[in-house]
Chain A
């Protein structure tokens, strides 16, 4: 019996190519160098970013310790996940690993699992 599953496949016009042009196959190395230099400059701001992240993580931990529910757990996970991504991007691997482990625990432990909170973290 033939399956009745309509599938429509189509190619929209490439408006991006029409707008952005280019396409000689290579990469604009000047643009890459400019962006890498700009990123290096931002690395100087990482201590501020890290401080903001740790403040947010502490607040999320306090909220979870006060009331452990799916909402407070999700907020804690989001904060740890943000720190993980930023630390890896700005070359702070240890911080990235710690935040990554916390993200993994919060993401994988079944809901309702008793997670370490409050004084045990201090």
Chain B
């Protein structure tokens, strides 16, 4: 039985349609992340599941029970939201132990659990400190510990790591997933940070303009996005406009700008189709000398950046378009310098094809 089910949920704020018919099913024990640009409706959806705001239409079930009209405190949830404050007059430890105390657990047990929960924080926090003595990041870690300590089986998290420094944020996301799994909880975590979602979720929900664009495991979204927006939102990708000029049984030939051609495996496309070829930079191979094979294109390196664990190249193709290439970084690998002539190879099966959007490519992938 799914723990959380959302069916046909709509919500309007004045003229703004925040949710335009959302269906979503979350299994027991799943770690789900909801991502999307600002204003996509992800926080509204979370608040409706929490019971903080009612939907205009649709139903929310938790553990098979319809919870429309049930107040938040009776839904059996723990939540850590961005702007839910800690109790200012209580110590960190008392804040975290609060949920257990109000459920009638004795003080020493509550404090023991609270201490354990505080250990998830990568920042050292004194249990005796008062909330006003904490940095934004530390206060956030305490809020998460408090949500965990309630003993609720369903955890709702809205940008739970948003106030942390980037590096702490990375460490803490793995800790957060680990503890949720160790405790056997179901978690729904809303974030604007797609890298965070992809690295810890069992299932990612991508939203845009009040609608769900795709639901899937992180690798599925990354390698098999169902639409251009998801393809672009979950990670860097090169998008090239073209037309199908020839097709055989299992292959087709795409003509890009200036007559540049690519071979692709492409079911369900016909000659003359106006398409966007989407290419993940991790799938492209870069060579400093000429190689043979399918889809080998000449280019010139525009930029070569060493990132954390990765070399990122921008390669200018002969038709004036730019192709991104990413390689894993190792000492043995020499960085190809800007202005160098190179050859790139794009495996035909790695090219994703989408219909050219009627509203134009830039609007289709707009993050605003």
- Tell whether A pairs with B: no
What is the interface of chain A, defined by CB distance below 8 A to chain B? none
What is the interface of chain B, defined by CB distance below 8 A to chain A? none
